[in-house]
Amino acid sequence: MTNEELYQQIQLEVLERIKPQKGEEDLLKKKFEEVVRKIKLVLTKSNIQAKIELTGSFSRDTWLSGNRDIDIFVIMPYDSTVSPNDLLQEIKKEIKYRWVRKHAKHPYLYAETDGIVVEILPCYEYKPNRELRSAVDRSPSHTRFIAENLPVGSNDEVRLLKQFMHGVGTYGAEIKIHGFSGYLVELMIIHFGGKFINVLKNATTLLQEPIVFKENLVVDKSKFEDDPVVVIDPTDDNRNVASALKDKALDNFIVAAKKYLKNPSLEFFFPNKMIINGKNIREMKSCPLEYIAILHKEPDIADDILWGQIRKFEKSIQSFLKTEDMDPIYVDSIISNEEIMTVIVTTEFHTKSTRWINGPPIVLDRDDEFLQKYSNDNTVIFGPSILEGRWKVFAKQEKRTLQELIQIGLETNKISQPSHLNLKHHTIYSREELLEKITNDSDKMRFLYTLLKGKPIFL
């Protein structure tokens, strides 16, 4: 069997598992109609003028079986005096679901009812080149563009690409993943001829020229110089749909695409869930890398805000360790059993016995304090000396373990502690303590083992 034939066989098997059946689709349609009827009554009672539109992957028939989400947009006139908060308050008051009010870039209501997630998002009418009144004003126009431009029969190709990205850990634009959004996946399918396999074959080209959907559109690359991939929103020439995509997810997708094309396998779409056994635990105990973990309680805040705070905390740990010459391989986190575990992995077990200390550049008149501190310091081996245009000393220092160093960083606020994380009640665990602490938490154990191995999940 050729690879092309194997691709086709695997795709059919994947679609059998991920394509929704009519009964599942009917359930969502029924729930959508029920919610729309209720919203219309609220709008009438409150005398609020607005249109109601279904958006998201369900509206575009690109959703995956089991992902029972309904995104309902309530679109107010551009000059409406009603605020999104006012509208949500009226809906929450009149429609008796167990609403959770969420806020990412924009406030919205979230509820689970009859096994279906319902999200209600208020926005204002959108026109290109007109200032947005809310962060989600464009979304309904995204649905219209996909409906008009996705080739007939390519809905399943979108599903295949989404499932592939799920399998290799690159699907989702949220801060936790910084991967590919559903809308970006749909645009990629359109751009690459309506075929999933074409996207994989052209994965490396994502790093090249911007993807556009308008003839003769000239893209000012300087606007997007920090973005590894540029896909211009067909509804807004100034927006990069791929702006949330970061290098890690992009690199993993490109490599996974290349590996799949050479050795196609169902496991790229549905990776086997690893079961940690005694051998794996012994490997973690004897790992030649050093690692510790910070554990603390998960706060009750929206996911996007929470992961934004976690990533900020991780970045501060990385910066602090670099200043201490303890470059980390990984600083990454998992949430499991209402607890956040941030793992730090390094090649060093303790700080060096000596280090360089940078003073002020000589062009600045700020050297008195530095020279006074280090001129007669008995820990100084070399200096104060002028090197590369600034004062420096090479000095002895007390060796500290990674665990001690992180504790000092937290106590002295050299590691910033985002307010929402409540890190006052944290515990730092060494490897032995950590393995004992999390031994019954399979998600944490798998996460730790994967970090220490360093392999992408598709390998």
pLDDT, tens digit only, all 459 positions of the chain: 788 899 999 999 999 999 999 999 999 999 999 999 999 999 999 999 999 999 999 999 999 999 999 999 999 999 999 999 999 999 999 898 899 888 767 889 999 999 999 999 999 999 988 899 988 999 999 999 999 999 999 999 999 999 999 999 999 988 889 999 999 999 999 999 999 999 999 999 998 889 999 988 889 888 998 999 999 999 999 999 999 999 999 999 999 999 999 999 999 999 988 899 999 999 999 999 999 999 999 998 878 788 999 999 999 999 999 988 888 999 999 999 999 999 999 998 888 889 899 999 988 888 888 999 999 899 999 999 999 999 999 999 888 999 999 999 999 999 998 988 878 889 999 999 999 999 999 999 999 999 999 988 887
Q: What is the value of pTM for the model shown?
A: 0.89
Q: Given the structure tokens 């069997």, which residue do they identify?
A: 1
Q: What gap in Å lies between CA 165 and CA 18, rounded to an integer?
A: 13
- Domains and their CATH numbers in the chain: 18-136 (3.30.460.10), 150-272 (1.10.1410.30), 278-351+399-453 (3.30.70.590), 354-396 (no CATH)
Q: DSSP labels for 266-325?
A: GGGTSPPPP---HHHHHHHHT-SSEEEEEEEEPPSS-HHHHHHHHHHHHHHHHHHHHHTT
297 vs 397: CA distance, rounded Å = 34
How far is it, in rounded angstroms, from Cα 7 to Cα 9? 6
